[in-house]
Amino acid sequence: MATGGSGSGTTQERPGEFELIASLFAPLAQEFSGACGLEDDAAYLALTDGLVHTGEELVLKTDALIAGVHFLKSDPGDMVARKLLRVNLSDLAAKGARPIVYMLAAMLPASLEYGWLQCFAQGLKADQDEFGIVLAGGDTDATPGPLALSLTVIGAIPAGQRLLRSAAKVGDAVFVSGTIGDGALGLAAILGQLDGVPQSDADFLVNRYRLPRPRLELGQRLRGLVHATMDISDGLVGDLQHICDASHVGATIEISRLPLSDAARAMLTIAPVWVETVIGGGDDYELLFTAPPSHQEALTSLGRNVGVPITRIGSIDVGKRVRVLDADGQEIVPRTTGYHHF
> Secondary structure of 95-143 in the HEC alphabet?
CCCEEEEEEEEEEECCCCCHHHHHHHHHHHHHHHHHHCCEEEEEEEEEC
Q: Is residue 219 part of a domain?
A: yes
Q: Is residue 83 part of a domain?
A: yes
Using alpha carbons only, give the angle 248, 87, 64 rounded to the nearest 5 degrees. Answer: 95
User: Could you say which of 138, 158, 178 is where a domain stops?
Assistant: 158
For 265, counting Cβ atoms within 10 Å of its Cβ (0-12 exposed, 13-18 middle, 19+ buried), the class is middle
The letter for the amino acid at 13 is E
Q: What is the pLDDT of residue 18?
A: 74
The letter for the amino acid at 104 is L
Whether residue 318 sits in one domain with residue 178: yes
Q: Is residue 60 part of a domain?
A: yes
Q: Is residue 8 part of a domain?
A: no
Whether residue 308 sits in one domain with residue 204: yes
Q: Is residue 7 part of a domain?
A: no
Query: Rounded CA gap, 138 and 121, in Å?
Result: 14
Query: Rounded CA gap, 12 and 29, in Å?
Result: 24
Whether residue 225 sits in one domain with residue 130: no
Using alpha carbons only, give the angle 21, 27, 32 rounded to the nearest 5 degrees. Answer: 110
Whether residue 78 sits in one domain with residue 60: yes
User: Which has the closest alpha carbon to 73: 181, 1, 149, 17?
Assistant: 1
| Strand-by-strand arrangement of the 310-317 sheet | 229-231, 287-291, 173-177, 310-317, 250-254, 322-325, 331-332
What does the CA dihedral 194, 199, 202, 203 come to, rounded to 10 degrees? 150
Q: Which CATH number characterizes residue 35's domain? A: 3.30.1330.10
Whether residue 216 sits in one domain with residue 119: no
Taking only the tens place, the pLDDT of each residue in 285-338 is 999 999 999 999 999 999 999 999 999 999 999 989 999 999 899 998 887 766
Q: Is residue 185 part of a domain?
A: yes
The pLDDT profile of the chain, 342 residues, written as one tens digit per residue, is: 233 344 444 567 888 877 888 899 999 999 888 787 887 666 666 666 667 777 888 888 999 999 998 888 889 999 999 999 999 999 999 999 999 999 999 999 999 999 999 999 999 999 999 999 999 999 999 999 999 999 999 998 888 888 999 999 999 999 999 999 999 999 999 999 998 889 999 999 999 999 999 999 999 999 999 999 999 999 999 999 999 999 999 999 999 999 999 999 999 999 999 999 999 999 999 999 999 999 999 999 999 999 999 999 999 999 899 999 998 999 988 877 666 554
User: Could you say which of 112, 133, 158 is where a domain stops?
Assistant: 158
H/E element holding 220?
helix 216-221
User: Could you say which of 119, 141, 158 is where a domain stops?
Assistant: 158
Whether residue 207 sits in one domain with residue 305: yes
Q: Which CATH number characterizes residue 222's domain? A: 3.90.650.10
CA atoms within 13 A on the CB side of 161: 21
Q: What is the DSSP string of 13-62?
A: ----HHHHIIIIIGGGGTT-GGGGGGTSSS----TTSSSS-TTEEEEEEE
Q: What is the pLDDT of residue 308?
A: 98
What does the CA dihedral 251, 254, 257, 258 come to, rounded to 10 degrees? 80
Whether residue 183 sits in one domain with residue 318: yes
Q: What is the pLDDT of residue 46?
A: 65
What pTM does this model have? Answer: 0.88
Query: Rounded CA gap, 201 and 266, in Å?
Result: 8
What percent of the chain is helix, strand and coil (3-state, nearest 5)? 40, 25, 40
CA 131, 217, 44, 14 dihedral sign is negative
Q: Is residue 342 part of a domain?
A: no
CA 226, 231, 236, 240 dihedral sign is negative
Whether residue 286 sits in one domain with residue 188: yes
Structural domain count of the chain: 2
Whether residue 195 sits in one domain with residue 325: yes
Using DSSP's 3-state secondary structure scheme, residue 158 falls into: strand
Whether residue 173 sits in one domain with residue 146: no
Q: Is residue 5 part of a domain?
A: no
Whether residue 174 sits in one domain with residue 132: no
Whether residue 141 sits in one domain with residue 248: no
Q: Where in the sequence is the domain holding 293, given as residue range(s)?
A: 165-332
Residue 188 CA: distances (Å) to CA of 53, 103, 122, 210, 339: 44, 31, 27, 12, 14
